[in-house]
A and B are shown apart, each in its own frame.
Chain A
Amino acid sequence: MTQFPTATDAGLTGCIRCCAVSSATDTHCTRCGAVLHPVSANSLQRVWAWWAAGLICYLPANLSPMLKTRTLGETQENTILGGVFELVGHHNYGVALIVFVASIVIPVAKFLAIAYLALAVGGPERAGGHRHLHLYEAVEFIGRWSMIDVFVVAILSSLVQLGFAASIHPGPAAVSFALSVAFTMLSAQSFDARLIWRGSEQDTV
């Protein structure tokens, strides 16, 4: 026996939404009616599927232009990284850092973190539940903030429409970047945090 009995050990299924327990044969929570998900490593398949979809969208998001700026007849196309360099060139270091962190550091860190969490559940070496749970909560919290760059593009392209003098239009990368952020959010949501503990328990039994 482990120190903490779990709902699964007791032949019950806990509801992730409202914490109530139902018997393992129920398909819906007896209190809130949500669909019950027994703790099972099968949910990792969904995590990996969304993860891969996010990665596939992330590549074109970085390679194709995010912004098309037209000033006095000259057209300039900027990728995400190009936009960061331009901000640095204008000595806007703070904003350059925000864009760099939101559109490059966070997405890459998220891919790595989700992959690490999903792999650690199945593997033999586990760092322990608390660290993994904190990592998971950080990933869940921070995911939406990557959308900043999509909004920046939307605001710039709707605002800067001064005809021949200057106009800004969105590039194809805006769509793939938004999709990439959405897919990684779904990937993080599909991950069942209870697996973190389930895995570490099976070692000690």
Chain B
Amino acid sequence: MSPLSELIACPKCDALHRARALAENERARCARCGTLLIEPREVSFLHVIALSLTAIILMVGAVFFPFLQISAQGLSHGSSIFGVAMAFSDGFLAPLALAVMLMIVALPLLRFCALIYVLWPLSKGAPPWPRAAEVFHAVEVMSPWMMAEVFIIGVAVALVKVAGLASVSFGPAFWAFCLLVMIMGLKNAFMSKGVIWRALGQ
């Protein structure tokens, strides 16, 4: 089995490469299509865990605190993030309410928890916890469906539409959510899935 474990295949073009251990600042790209294959970041596990914990705390705050409030001519109405998803709750639109809730709250939360589960033992050099490979696989599958950053741009567009109609005030949940999007971007910059897969495989 030893020659097989030395070989890696590019996921984008199937070209075969012989992998070797890289130094701290080296990166390996596919010789044919240029896809990034190996990028060692040894210290990154703890960063990802810390950022995931931060994100979980922010998300809990974002769900329960008031998000936005509008007022016009003495009338006012506020909404939480939960209320935003519930906008679709009547009639045949109901499944969309569930989908929105999944995309902006549930999947990100699940992903942060899963990352902590996978990385916690690895960061201490311990063997991974049971079924860590499956959990990390699930993390990868769900990542394109998390749309927190798309949601924030949606908020901006909606605010411009409302601006002529009423005055808008931002609740703490709004700021928590903005911060959350930035944390998620930071965490993606620290994460290298190749490194995690290799650590899980040993």
A contacts, CB < 8 Å to B: 3-10, 12-23, 30-34, 39, 87, 90, 92, 95, 98-99, 129-130, 133, 140, 143-145, 147-163, 165-166, 170, 172, 174-175, 178, 182, 185, 189, 193-194, 196-198
A150-B100 contact in complex given A155-B158, A166-B165, C-beta closer than 8 Å: yes
Interface residue B40 (Cβ < 8 Å from any Cβ of A): no
| Alpha-carbon distance between A159 and B165 when the two chains are bound, in angstroms | 12
- How many residue pairs at the A-B interface have CB separations less than 8 Å? 219
Residues in chain A near residue B151, CB distance under 8 A: 151
| Alpha-carbon distance between A140 and B69 when the two chains are bound, in angstroms | 35
Residues in chain A near residue B113, CB distance under 8 A: none
A98 CB → nearest B CB, Å = 6
Cross-chain pairs A/B with CB under 8 angstroms, 26 sampled = A6-B9, A6-B13, A7-B7, A14-B10, A18-B201, A19-B10, A19-B194, A20-B5, A20-B197, A31-B197, A32-B133, A98-B157, A147-B147, A147-B150, A148-B154, A151-B151, A155-B87, A155-B155, A158-B87, A162-B70, A162-B76, A163-B75, A165-B75, A166-B72, A174-B93, A175-B92
Contact A92 B14 (CB under 8 A): no
B contacts, CB < 8 Å to A: 4-5, 7-16, 19, 31-34, 37, 68, 70, 72-73, 75-79, 83-88, 92-93, 95-96, 99-100, 103-104, 133-134, 136-137, 140, 144-145, 147, 150-151, 153-155, 157-158, 160-162, 164-166, 193-194, 197-198, 200-201
Contact B77 A14 (CB under 8 A): no
Secondary structure of the B contact surface, majority rule: helix
Contact A154 B16 (CB under 8 A): no
Chain A minimum-CB-distance residue to B17? A19
Residues in chain B near residue A198, CB distance under 8 A: 14
A21-B137 contact in complex given A162-B77, A197-B13, C-beta closer than 8 Å: no
Contact A158 B86 (CB under 8 A): yes
Residues in chain A near residue B140, CB distance under 8 A: 17
Name the contact of A152 in the complex, choosing from B19, B88, B92, B154 (C-beta under 8 A): B154
Name the contact of A175 in the complex, choosing from B10, B76, B93 (C-beta under 8 A): B93
